[in-house]
């Protein structure tokens, strides 16, 4: 028997499941009715934002739109019940808010002349609309999302705020981390174990593969090619500010962890070819000068920088792997040639690091694992916005929450030429 539409507010979860089945959305019965116990009143309060966001997170756009239309039809048939529940009927809501060029004012503090949807979403999100000139709805609407953690997220529909000031902060962060890493490398060099007392540790790869003298220079060459590829993508990507901010925050965090690991434990030199010995740089100023030399040379042998003792874990592997992941993440999936080249450079770079006997195998393995896991965890949290539901995530990842609080979901891979000239590039790329 079909559920009566005259008493939707009295429906049970079973009746909601029956309605979903009749409307052609049977595949979502388990998610909505069993996992999230959706009954009649909560069905009437359901919005498109609920369907898109966590914890539901529907991914099929057609299903989202069709289910939203069915919900609106059901809500229009039950306007009296909506008013009894304290919800504004859908006919009184603004539909398809346009982005007018004037009369826009940000409102996240609940000031007067605001337009409330009247319903709170299940994740504690309230949608508010405000016009800067007069009460009521008009073009130039700005969406403001106030989350249950008390923070406010502002954006125009369909637009990602570049938040350049946050990108500047992330740049300063990675800049300071690289400087601190250089200073720790000077400290570590003073404590490098004596090769006569502590010979190289047994390593299956290093013991099996003969050393290639030019391999480390090739590894750095692979890193430089990946760097140029990423810089080109960064130049052409529409959301370059977000990309660069994410690169800086991830790079800085991994290298900060590397500072801790190489300072805590000093490994013996991995090969007899390395002329490493404990070296004292005298006073603090001498150490700072040496750190500045490492810093300015990016720690690369191609720039004449030679370091010892910074083994756990491989910084070269971190940089090469992170650049590869950014290149493949922020280019379309159909760019198979670019992705293949990026991965080949990443894998060959790692091989050359090991073939040069500049790092133990465990250094490279741990560097690759930490970098890939951190990249995947960061982007999973950012794309699903699951951290908004977890106070623990906001406590343990405060920098992530700060940088990503206004990025609404995955960053689309859109490109445009950032300059006015030459005109053909503007026409070609957009």
Question: Residues 380-426: pLDDT tens digits?
Answer: 988 887 666 677 777 778 888 889 888 888 899 988 888 877 777 76
Does 3.40.50.11810 match the CATH number of domain 10-85? no
Overall pTM surpassing 0.75 (yes/no): no
CA 47 to chain CA mean position, Å: 26
Annotation marks residue 316 as catalytic: yes
| C-alpha to C-alpha distances, 57 to 1, 25, 217, nearest whole angstrom | 30, 15, 46
- Joined together, the tokens standing for residue 327 give 């290149």
Query: Is pLDDT at 174 greater than 70 in this prediction?
Result: yes
Residues in Cβ contact with 73 at an 8 Å cutoff, skipping those fewer than 6 apart: none
Annotation marks residue 189 as catalytic: no
The strand order across the sheet containing 143-146 reads 114-120, 126-130, 143-146, 152-155
For residues 419 and 320, what is the distance between their CA atoms, to the nearest angstrom? 29
Annotation marks residue 50 as catalytic: no
Long-range contacts of 37-42 (CB under 8 A, 24+ apart): 37/13, 38/13, 39/11, 39/12, 39/13, 40/7, 40/8, 40/9, 40/10, 40/11, 40/12, 40/15, 40/16, 41/9, 41/85, 42/122
For residues 22 and 30, what is the distance between their CA atoms, to the nearest angstrom? 15
pLDDT number for residue 122: 37
**DSSP code, position 65:** H
Would you tell me how many other CB atoms lie within 10 Å of the CB of residue 156? 14
Could you tell me where the DSSP H helices lie in 356-397? 361-384, 391-396
Point out the least confidently predicted range of 186-195, 216-225, 314-323, 383-392.
383-392
Range(s) within the chain of domains with CATH label 1.10.150.50: 10-85
Bridge partner residues of 298 (DSSP)? none
Would you tell me how many other CB atoms lie within 10 Å of the CB of residue 153? 18
Q: What is the pLDDT of residues 19-64, one digit of tens each?
A: 898 888 888 888 888 888 888 888 888 888 889 888 888 888 888 9
Query: Is pLDDT at 182 greater than 90 in this prediction?
Result: yes
- Which among 147, 189, 316, 357 is annotated as catalytic? 316
Are residues 403 and 249 in contact, defined by beta-carbon separation less than 8 angstroms? yes
Q: What is the pLDDT of residues 333-352, one digit of tens each?
A: 999 999 999 999 999 999 99
What would the 3-class secondary structure string for 121-177 be?
Answer: CCCCCEEEEEECCCCCCCCCCCEEEECCCCCEEEECCCCCCCCHHHHHHHHHHHHHH
- Joined together, the tokens standing for residue 390 give 């977890």
- Which among 50, 119, 203, 363 is annotated as catalytic? 363
Using pLDDT thresholds of 50, 70 and 90, give the confidence band for residue 282.
Answer: confident
């Amino acid at each position: 028997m079909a559920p009566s539409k005259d008493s939707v507010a009295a429906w049970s979860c079973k009746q909601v499941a029956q309605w979903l089945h009749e409307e052609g959305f049977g595949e979502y019965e388990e998610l909505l009715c069993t996992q999230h116990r959706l009954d009649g009143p909560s069905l009437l309060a359901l919005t498109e934002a609920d369907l898109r966001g966590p914890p539901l997170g529907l991914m099929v756009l057609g299903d989202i739109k069709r289910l939203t239309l069915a919900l609106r039809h059901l809500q229009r048939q039950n306007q009296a019940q909506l008013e009894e529940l304290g919800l504004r009927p859908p006919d009184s809501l603004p539909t398809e808010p346009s982005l007018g060029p004037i009369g826009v004012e940000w409102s996240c503090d609940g000031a007067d002349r605001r337009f409330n949807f009247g319903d709170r979403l299940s994740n504690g999100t309230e949608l508010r609309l405000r016009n800067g000139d007069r009460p009521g709805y008009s073009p130039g609407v700005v969406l403001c999302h106030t989350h249950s953690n008390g923070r406010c997220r502002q954006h125009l529909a369909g637009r990602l705020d570049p938040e350049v000031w946050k990108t500047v902060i992330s740049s300063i962060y990675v800049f300071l981390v690289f400087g601190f890493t250089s200073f720790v490398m000077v400290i570590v060099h003073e404590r490098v174990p004596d090769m006569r007392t502590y010979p190289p540790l047994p390593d299956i790869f290093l013991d099996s593969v003969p050393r290639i003298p030019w391999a480390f220079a090739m590894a750095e060459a692979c890193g430089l090619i990946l760097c140029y590829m990423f810089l080109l993508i960064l130049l052409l990507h529409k959301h370059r500010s977000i990309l660069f901010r994410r690169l800086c925050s991830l790079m800085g965090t991994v290298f900060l962890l590397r500072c801790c690991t190489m300072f805590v434990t000093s490994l013996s030199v991995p090969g007899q070819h390395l002329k490493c010995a404990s070296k004292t740089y005298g006073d603090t100023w001498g150490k700072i000068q040496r750190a500045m030399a490492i810093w300015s040379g990016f720690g690369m042998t191609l720039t004449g920088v030679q370091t010892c003792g910074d083994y756990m874990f491989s910084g070269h592997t971190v940089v090469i792997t992170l650049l590869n992941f950014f290149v493949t993440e922020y280019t379309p999936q159909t760019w198979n040639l670019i992705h293949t080249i990026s991965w080949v450079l990443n894998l060959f770079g790692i091989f050359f690091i090991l073939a040069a006997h500049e790092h133990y195998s465990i250094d490279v393995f741990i560097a690759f694992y930490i970098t890939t896991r951190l990249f995947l965890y960061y982007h999973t949290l950012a794309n699903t916005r699951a951290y908004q539901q977890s106070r623990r995530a906001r406590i343990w990842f405060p920098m992530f929450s700060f940088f990503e609080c206004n990025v609404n979901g995955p960053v689309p891979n859109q490109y445009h030429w950032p300059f006015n000239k030459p005109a053909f590039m503007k026409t070609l790329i957009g």
